[in-house]
């Protein structure tokens, strides 16, 4: 077997950006070819980006994807594996990988296993392929599989039976906490079963409620990592694949360390925010800065994603806003250097109350007046958004979203929610992590007891369990899908578990109107959480 030089392209496609994606691929192929590569590999559905969702129901979408594929027929002297949706003459739709060499298609592989769980709904769009694909490149028999095909033994087994000596797995595998290790372990299992090395190529980038971490890798026959690409970065990597590299580990220069849990989480939130803003054409972002920890973290993420010149913070104090909240907000803005405005809302609040007096006659003030403050702030932020063309970032976390501790059309108003899937306890860890890079979040913001400041002497734990307890109960109910009885048996207080369960269920109507935000957990309040608003089931 001769040496085979392979170029792996880990890139950030735009869903539906067919021309853009093709240009990115062609540019990388040109570079790979100039460096003497024999084989070029990129990610799943690279032509159209992942996940196109109901774009895949449009006949014209397939036609335009196929037109883009023709650009690769003009390239000679290198073999390419290009992911692209395909519609055959019988109107069957496939998630496909095309093998293109010297002006023609030398093979097409159709994804066999179609995921239909979590955020995936591929059986809505595609039918399963049935035939393995093994092709020759420089004397090496290469089998191709696509993403989910690696998670079960059959597709790799069929490729081996077809004579494969190397497996190329092209993927669009979204990030969640601990997902990298899971996909690495699964791929190792395929290597151990087949005794065939695997090249695992993944995309990066934010796409609505998903974020992709890349972290592509190669495993040798011993299921050892011989090449590890960086996480959350575009990268074109070359590797000489010969008999030596099939067995032994490569030099340490080819192995990048995958970030630890909080590091990867922060990087995912930054990339998701950056791509949502830029891919949707917003000039910048703004958010309400309260002096609390959630808005402080959101501001830090926004600046790291977009730069200080594209970020605006607005402090909107009321009579209930503590002086330290204003002081800490000003301090953070000074630390981070963004545009900043203060707009007091007392006069607006009083006007609202006066206008509502005839309707509220004889009724005591309650949460209604608290929510008025949040809705005034939401209205002001949306007005600034309309005028400046800036996207409003909401600042609520997953703990609040779970129990409805946010105001519909108030602090829930906005277009993107960077920390939507981040529990409150994780918010604290992320703030400490960010301050270890450079100290931008005032220490008092991290140490203060959390409060909405919608009335005097108000604290979150007046009406909620301590966040350390609340987050565990939420994880049990939402991610592990345990019953109330099961959770109580774990040692949690029955009163607290029952209260949280009721709040989660009764807040569903709010969550279904919430802004989109990146999924970073096993079960987010996005497309992987599809509970009916109207239902009588008790957890």
The C-alpha atoms of residue 508 and residue 270 are separated, in whole angstroms, by 27
Residue pair 179/173 in contact (Cβ under 8 Å)? The answer is: yes
What's the pLDDT score for residue 397?
A: 96
Mean pLDDT of the chain: 93
Strand-strand pairing, 339-342 and 235-241: unpaired
pLDDT digits (tens, 9 = 90+) for 332-360: 999 999 999 999 999 999 999 999 999 99
Q: For tokens 């919430």, name the residue.
A: 514
Percent of the chain clearing pLDDT 90 (strictly above): 88
How is residue 325 written in tokens? 């909240």
Write out the DSSP string of 177-217: TTHHHHHHHHHHHHHHHHT--EEEEE-EEEETTEEEEB--E
Residues facing 7 on adjacent strands: 40, 238
Residue 452 clears pLDDT 90, i.e. is over it = no
The C-alpha atoms of residue 288 and residue 270 are separated, in whole angstroms, by 18
What's the pLDDT score for residue 302?
A: 98
Residue 245 clears pLDDT 80, i.e. is over it = no
What's the pLDDT score for residue 255?
A: 76
pLDDT digits (tens, 9 = 90+) for 57-93: 999 999 999 999 999 999 999 999 999 999 999 999 9
pLDDT digits (tens, 9 = 90+) for 522-534: 999 988 899 999 9
Which residue from 282, 294, 299, 303 is spatially nearest to 451, judged by alpha carbons? 294
pLDDT digits (tens, 9 = 90+) for 182-204: 999 999 999 999 999 999 999 99
Residue 275 clears pLDDT 60, i.e. is over it = yes
Non-local CB neighbours of 117 within 8 Å, separated by 6+ positions: none
The C-alpha atoms of residue 273 and residue 418 are separated, in whole angstroms, by 6
The C-alpha atoms of residue 2 and residue 471 are separated, in whole angstroms, by 55
What's the pLDDT score for residue 462?
A: 61
What's the pLDDT score for residue 256?
A: 80
Q: For tokens 């695997």, name the residue.
A: 198
Three-state DSSP at 471 gives helix
Q: What number of residues does the chain have?
A: 539
Non-local CB neighbours of 238 within 8 Å, separated by 6+ positions: 5, 6, 7, 8, 32, 35, 37
Which residue from 73, 68, 75, 70 is spatially nearest to 46, judged by alpha carbons? 68
Question: What is the band of 251 on the pLDDT scale with cuts at 50, 70, 90?
Answer: very low
**Predicted TM-score (pTM) of this structure:** 0.94
- When pLDDT is averaged across residues 144-162 and rounded to a whole number, the result is 97
Which residue from 280, 314, 287, 290 is spatially nearest to 302, judged by alpha carbons? 287
Question: What is the band of 456 on the pLDDT scale with cuts at 50, 70, 90?
Answer: low
Residue 280 clears pLDDT 60, i.e. is over it = yes
pLDDT digits (tens, 9 = 90+) for 462-474: 678 899 999 999 9
Catalytic (active-site) positions: 44, 111, 147
Number of H helices, E strands in the chain: 17, 18
The C-alpha atoms of residue 369 and residue 364 are separated, in whole angstroms, by 10
What's the pLDDT score for residue 241?
A: 79
Residue 249 clears pLDDT 60, i.e. is over it = no
How is residue 75 written in tokens? 């390239």
Write out the DSSP string of 71-107: GGGG--SSEEEEEEEEE-TT--EEEEEEEEETTEEEE
How is residue 522 written in tokens? 């096993």
- When pLDDT is averaged across residues 387-396 and rounded to a whole number, the result is 96
The C-alpha atoms of residue 359 and residue 343 are separated, in whole angstroms, by 28
pLDDT digits (tens, 9 = 90+) for 475-531: 999 999 999 999 999 999 999 999 999 999 999 999 999 999 999 999 999 888 999
């Amino acid at each position: 077997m001769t040496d085979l030089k392979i170029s792996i392209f880990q890139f950030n496609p735009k869903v539906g950006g067919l021309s853009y994606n093709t240009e990115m691929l062609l540019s990388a192929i040109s570079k790979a070819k100039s460096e003497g590569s024999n084989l070029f590999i990129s990610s799943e559905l690279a032509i159209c980006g992942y996940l196109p969702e109901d774009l895949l129901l449009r006949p014209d979408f397939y036609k335009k994807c196929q037109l883009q594929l023709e650009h690769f027929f003009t390239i000679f002297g290198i073999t390419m594996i290009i992911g692209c949706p395909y519609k055959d003459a019988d109107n069957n739709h496939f998630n496909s990988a095309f093998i293109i060499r010297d002006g023609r298609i030398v093979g097409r592989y159709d994804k066999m296993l179609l995921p239909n769980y979590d955020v995936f709904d591929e059986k809505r769009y595609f039918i399963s392929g049935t035939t393995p694909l093994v092709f020759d490149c420089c004397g090496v028999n290469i089998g191709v599989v696509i993403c989910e095909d690696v998670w079960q033994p059959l597709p790799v087994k069929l490729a081996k039976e077809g004579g494969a000596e190397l497996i190329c797995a092209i993927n669009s595998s979204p990030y969640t906490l601990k997902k990298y290790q899971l996909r690495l372990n699964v791929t190792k299992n395929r290597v151990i079963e087949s005794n065939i090395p695997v090249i695992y190529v993944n995309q990066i980038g934010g796409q609505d409620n998903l974020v992709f971490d890349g972290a592509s890798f190669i495993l040798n026959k011993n299921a050892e990592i011989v090449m590890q690409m960086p996480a959350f970065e575009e990268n074109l990597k070359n590797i000489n694949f010969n008999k030596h590299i099939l067995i032994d580990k490569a030099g340490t220069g080819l192995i990048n360390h995958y970030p630890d849990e909080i590091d990867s989480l922060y990087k995912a939130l930054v990339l998701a925010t950056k791509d949502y803003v830029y891919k949707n054409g917003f000039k910048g972002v703004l958010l309400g800065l309260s002096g609390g920890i959630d808005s402080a973290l959101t501001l830090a993420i926004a600046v790291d994603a977009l730069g200080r010149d594209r970020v605006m913070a607005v402090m909107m104090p009321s009579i209930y806003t503590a002086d330290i909240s204003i002081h800490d907000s000003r301090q953070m803005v000074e630390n981070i250097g963004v545009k900043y405005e203060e707009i007091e809302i007392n006069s607006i609040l009083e006007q609202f109350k006066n206008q509502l007096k005839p309707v509220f006659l004889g009724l005591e003030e309650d949460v209604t007046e608290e929510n008025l403050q949040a809705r005034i702030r939401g209205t002001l932020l949306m007005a600034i958004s309309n005028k400046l063309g800036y996207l409003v970032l909401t600042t609520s976390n997953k703990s609040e979203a779970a129990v409805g501790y946010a105001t519909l059309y108030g602090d829930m108003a906005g277009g993107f929610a960077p920390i939507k899937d981040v529990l409150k306890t994780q918010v604290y860890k992320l703030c400490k992590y960010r301050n270890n890079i450079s100290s931008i979040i005032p220490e008092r913001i991290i140490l203060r007891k959390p409060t909405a400041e919608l009335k005097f002497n108000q604290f979150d734990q007046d009406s909620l369990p301590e966040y350390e307890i609340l987050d565990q109960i939420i994880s049990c109910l939402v991610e592990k899908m345990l019953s109330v009885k099961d959770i109580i048996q774990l040692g949690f207080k029955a009163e607290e578990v029952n209260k949280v369960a009721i709040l989660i269920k009764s807040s569903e109507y709010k969550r279904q109107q919430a802004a989109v935000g990146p999924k970073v957990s096993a079960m987010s309040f996005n497309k992987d959480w599809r509970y009916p608003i109207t239902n009588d089931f008790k957890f």
